[in-house]
Chains A and B, each alone.
Chain A
Amino acid sequence: MSFAADSRTDGARPRPRGALGRLMSEPMGATGAVLVALFIAVALFAPLIAPYDPLALDIPAKLQGPSLAHPAGTDQLGRDTLSRLIYGARTALAIAMGATGAAGVIGLALGMMAGYGPRWLDGALMLVLDSLASLPMILFALAVITVLGPSATTLVFVIILVSISGYARLVRAQTLGLANAEFIQAERTMGASNLRILFRHLMPNVVGPLLIVLSMDVPVVIMLEAGLSYLNLGIRPPVPSWGNILYDGYSSLRQQPALVIAAGVPLVLSTIGFTFLGEGLRDALDPRLKGGGP
């Protein structure tokens, strides 16, 4: 972790307009931005876009293929697949934003505490966080779900638990690198309190890289939500989630493949979108996070 900045000032950061321009000029970043914007728009305006109520049953019309009335067909209870997928975007967005947001805040607090606090606190926090990280993510998630029972709340809690360790370690590394920087020393000499240094001077500098990593983790969280809901251990039916729609499609794979094919598309598009956007953002905003290379 030698990239920790030693004299980073706000002036060194590219101006937003320039960064946005750079992002949109790269085909990968532009594709990602468009896909993510589409995903967020669909999630926000779901009630306006969806042609049907995602929960309305129509058993006689079950497991239909694509038609004019149902562009993506219907599921085993005759519910309109397109409407369910549109509302599924809402579920995915809510879980992803809630979980990564909360995990980011907790990770930021723990990381700054470890990086700026006393040595013993750093040691203790790092030991616990390392142990947390040494648990294979999925098994840890499954163990927590076994204890708490599957629900949306458990899902968010699990995602927070498995991701704070990485965020805290990133923030800690950044904080350690900055703690002895000249502008921090200058503040200290001028008698600034520790709280002031932490919130006014350290936080703005460590939050940038954290935001980039958080945005790159959004697709991971979307995948985890879909995966656990697919296993029936995440979002409980009948609330539409891409994962449980995929499971419905998987169960009726031989009778009506249209359902499972349609269910995978938004998941793939949104994870690709977020990944492309994350890559683009990283290159446009903070080249130092790039994986090596001259």
Chain B
Amino acid sequence: MLRYTAKRTGLAVLNLLIVMVAMYAMVFLVPGDPASVALGPRATPALKAELVTRMGLDQPIWRQVWNFFANAVQGNLGYDVWSGRPVLDQILEAFPNTLILGGVALGWALVLGVALGCLAVVWRGGVLDTLLGLLSVSMIAVPSFVIAIYALLVFAVWLNWLPAIGAGTAGDIGSQVRALILPSFAIGITWVGYLARLVRASMLEVMGEAHIRTARAFGLSEFRIVTRYALRLAIIPTLAVLAVGFGSILSAAVFVETVFSRPGIGTLIISAVAKRNYPLVMGTTLFMTAFYLFIVTAADLVIARLDPRVRDVFRGG
């Protein structure tokens, strides 16, 4: 286990380093220096010169690369081209909002998805199973930002039940919860179907195993077998998918935050892309990649702990 942990963590760090190099190279491979691209064609030479100095573009390239790495390791991701504020400050300000949104969306989707998946296994081949199969595919197929726009139209504009924009007023939990309902619905709904299907498939795989047959021979009810014995094993692949699915939750969040003008990583990076605010875009991408790698690595380690067979993956080479 220790060896697996070390190898898995080492791989994640290596991945992050390659991503950092790729991001840095990308900025330099395009024609024109980042300062003039960021400022646009109408920038005065004086303004440009100032930005070049501020971004450290006048220094030799090896020095720049070194600075980039040294700063990133110390948590300095550079400064906003326009406001001069540290990039990390802005990220840390926006990140909790996105984390809450993703967490709530995933939370309700997980509860409902696992429950529906279990029911589909208990009554497999029945009407609910068929209906759920069809519904889960449609749920996956409908883009979350379209759901977000339709939900906004119906529940915020027509019925006026819930707020259309923002994340609620600070300190007022009630308004914050109300502002969360529609966005988390739009992100979570696609996951309900996906998780239900996944739980169903991995559970059916488990259902043929010897210990389930034993439980059945002992006369346990189908419901008890599913919830007590099959779910425990079937949850492992679900965990793996959830960790990898963080990426798609994040992209859903980017769109949904924009639709609801909700402060978060999505609205932050979209406004930065529109203004070609390099340091902010690169910093956010790097930060989220690091976070994503952390989640995936942590999930892999948890899975390896739960299922010893996984650890052998690295052993064969």
Contact = CB atoms under 8 A, between A and B. Distances in A.
The answer to whether A and B assemble together is: yes
A275 B190 CA distance: 13
Interface string A122-165: 00000110111011111110111111100000000000000000
Contact of B26 (A144, A267, A268): A144
Interface string B151-187: 0110001100000000000000000000000000000
Interface stretch (B54-62, B63-71, B289-297): B289-297
A260 interface: yes
Nearest to B270: A231
Contacts of B18: 127-128, 131
Contacts of A246: 145-146, 149
Contact of A253 (B157, B250, B273, B274): B157
B20 to A, nearest CB: 10
B196 interface: no
A134 B137 contact: no
Contact of A130 (B15, B23, B292): B15
A218 to B, nearest CB: 11
Contacts of A148: 30
Contacts of A271: 141-143
B201 interface: yes
B247 interface: yes
A177 interface: no
A291 B201 contact: yes
A134 B244 CA distance: 9
Interface string B122-142: 000000000001100110111
B23 A143 contact: yes
A238 interface: no
Nearest to A226: B143
Name the residue in A145, A231, A294 with the highest tally of chain B Cβ atoms < 10 Å from its Cβ: A231
B201 to A, nearest CB: 4
B77 to A, nearest CB: 13
B204 interface: yes
A237 B258 CA distance: 19
Contacts of A276: 137, 141
B79 interface: no
A287 interface: no
A257 interface: yes
A158 B181 CA distance: 32
Interface in A213-235: 219, 223, 226-227, 230-233
Interface residues of A, number: 49
A272 interface: yes
A293 B205 contact: yes
A115 B19 CA distance: 23
Interface string B1-32: 00000000001101110110011001100100
A66 to B, nearest CB: 16
Contacts of B284: 139
Contacts of A144: 26
A135 B152 CA distance: 30
Contact of B153 (A130, A137, A253, A291): A253
B202 interface: yes
Name the residue in A127, A132, A249, A293 with the highest tally of chain B Cβ atoms < 10 Å from its Cβ: A293
B248 interface: yes
A131 B22 contact: yes
Nearest to B248: A137
A52 interface: no
B259 A250 contact: yes
A59 interface: no
Contacts of A260: 149, 153
Contacts of B35: none
Name the residue in B15, B157, B198 with the highest tally of chain A Cβ atoms < 10 Å from its Cβ: B15
Contacts of B274: 232-233
28 contacts: A127-B15, A127-B18, A130-B15, A134-B12, A134-B296, A136-B246, A136-B250, A137-B251, A139-B250, A139-B269, A139-B285, A139-B289, A142-B254, A142-B269, A142-B281, A143-B26, A146-B273, A147-B26, A219-B141, A230-B255, A231-B258, A231-B270, A233-B270, A264-B146, A268-B146, A272-B138, A293-B205, A294-B205
Interface of A: 28, 127-128, 130-132, 134-140, 142-148, 219, 223, 226-227, 230-233, 246, 249-250, 253-254, 257, 260-261, 264, 267-268, 271-272, 274-276, 279, 291-294
- By Cβ-Cβ distance, the 9 closest A-B pairs, closest first, are A138-B251, A275-B141, A131-B18, A292-B205, A223-B143, A291-B201, A136-B247, A131-B15, A139-B285
Interface of B: 11-12, 14-16, 18-19, 22-23, 26-27, 30, 37, 133-134, 137-138, 140-143, 145-146, 149-150, 152-153, 157-158, 197-198, 201-202, 204-205, 207-208, 246-248, 250-251, 254-255, 258-259, 269-270, 272-274, 276-278, 281-282, 284-285, 288-289, 292-293, 296
